[in-house]
Chains A and B, each alone.
Chain A
């Protein structure tokens, strides 16, 4: 009697387990189309790279997914188009996503956190001989757009006095640092340092994360509506794109070659390689090792939001509305 029961149980278990086996290996039956819009011009930001690689290596095709790749002209159109549903997936910096969710209330949600740490940092020329942010006192510090909370947090964490610094709105042109018009300049670790060093200047960098300040990087973003109406589409997308990122991690040179297909001849290969390798450094954490790349936690988002709220960058919202891991399972 016990034997029969355990045998039945075993058979049932096997049947149950086999029916639960994920269908990742087989091609989904129905072809779907979508538009992916990179949040900026073609370059080697990690989420972009994942998509480029997935396109060129046939990962999208394997998911029976036809993806049209577009690029934002850089004025936030990608967020508007995604909110309208004209674009299914775009990319966005986590902090800005939070802010836009709060005001004006764009119904956008992060479906994967690629940059587990943000790329924002502050740079000064080595010739300035600044060692810590305390050395920034009596000097000028620049910001792009609006003063970033991580600047205030960084200064505070370093025990420096913000009122003794001249905070200036600078443009998106790093030459302002090399030409000596500003002492401290906000950079993306994966971008400007390459150019500035290529021009022959050495930099000192201060990373907010080193001071315990939470920053998050780029995410894949979709709209609430698309998430609700067609999660299968998004899942296929993510599977292929994340596979593309992992591929790029293993084959960076080939990945860069693929990126160059999307950029024009004005782009420097070494620059793209630098960008890719920089961002790859922030792809993996203990959490992603456990759950897979792109995984995001409420703690991460909450910590980021708390900083933004503390420095009046946004009003608080429920962070659970801003991200979801359901497509990553």
Chain B
């Protein structure tokens, strides 16, 4: 279970992934060239990449805005989810009422709320952060509650034989048990946070990748549109990888079955 036996495997899988992506792009390129597809219907990857790199600083700036919105919203959503979950587990009487409210919020289509927030709060980053936080908060809440409640009964018996108070059981047992569940939630919500920020930008933004996409699309400038999409896809993948990496370090007691034989 040492790290050195994992390294060759993970770098190899990385190379395989890169290889597959390259093949995908090559096929795409070939299709566009052979079928002479007009650029406004489907641009070739080569065109997309040249657009991306020729306008490096333009995209860098937009990416920075969207990423910061997504990250800020993610952090707030996670913190809110964890805090609320903790309260609900410590004070079980509240659970039904609060959960009903949470589900109500979750079920409201954010695409309807987003324009309202923009109207109230303007075109700055705040509405995007709020939307993203709303989007990420629910999966975190549900997963963390689940983790905190799904403690092995054997542990509960032991702690009760020790006269542990409800708070002590929470602090020493429930909270750490919930951490792996938190990562499960993060794996879902981190890419979701990106999408949330982008969608929020569509309803009114002065900057960011969502806005770039909207402008590009309304100008029917597809290379610009796709370049933004590529960045988003890459960013989403990066977020996910970072979380998986964090998970293997923080939840060290649960072996990551993906990389093991």
Contact = CB atoms under 8 A, between A and B. Distances in A.
Please say whether the chains A and B touch (CB closer than 8 A): yes
Interface residues of A, number: 25
A74 B212 contact: no
B119 A73 contact: no
A216 to B, nearest CB: 23
A42 B218 CA distance: 11
Contacts of B202: 73
B219 to A, nearest CB: 5
B159 interface: no
B203 A266 contact: no
B220 A195 contact: yes
A84 to B, nearest CB: 8
A74 B218 contact: yes
A137 interface: no
B122 to A, nearest CB: 8
B68 interface: no
Interface stretch (A47-55, A75-83, A232-240): A75-83
Interface in A237-267: 263-267
Contacts, number: 57
Given A41-B218, A73-B204, A175 B41 contact: yes
Given A70-B123, A73-B204, A199-B40, A266 B215 contact: yes
Interface residues of B, number: 23
A41 B40 contact: no
Interface string B21-44: 000000000000000001011000
Interface in A192-245: 195, 199
Contacts of A265: 55, 58, 224
A70 B118 CA distance: 13
Interface string B106-120: 000000000100110
B69 to A, nearest CB: 15
B221 interface: yes
A175 B220 contact: yes
A266 B218 CA distance: 10
B40 A268 contact: no
B55 A77 contact: no
A175 B41 CA distance: 8
Contacts of A41: 214-215, 218
A73 B205 contact: yes
Contacts of B220: 173-175, 195
Contacts of A70: 123, 206
A70 B204 CA distance: 10
Contacts of B219: 266-268, 271
A289 to B, nearest CB: 34
Interface in B243-260: none
Interface in A66-100: 70, 72-75, 77, 80-81, 84
Interface in A256-298: 263-268, 271
A172 B224 CA distance: 18
B204 A264 contact: no
Contacts of B123: 70, 73
A77 B115 CA distance: 8
Contacts of A72: 204
B216 interface: yes
**Of listed A72, A73, A174, A271, residue having the most chain B CB within 10 A:** A73
B119 A266 contact: no
In the A-B complex, the 8 residue pairs with the smallest Cβ-Cβ separation, listed nearest first, are A266-B224, A73-B204, A266-B221, A266-B216, A265-B55, A266-B219, A265-B58, A264-B215
Given A77-B204, A81-B119, 7 more contacts: A41-B214, A72-B204, A73-B205, A80-B119, A175-B220, A264-B58, A265-B224
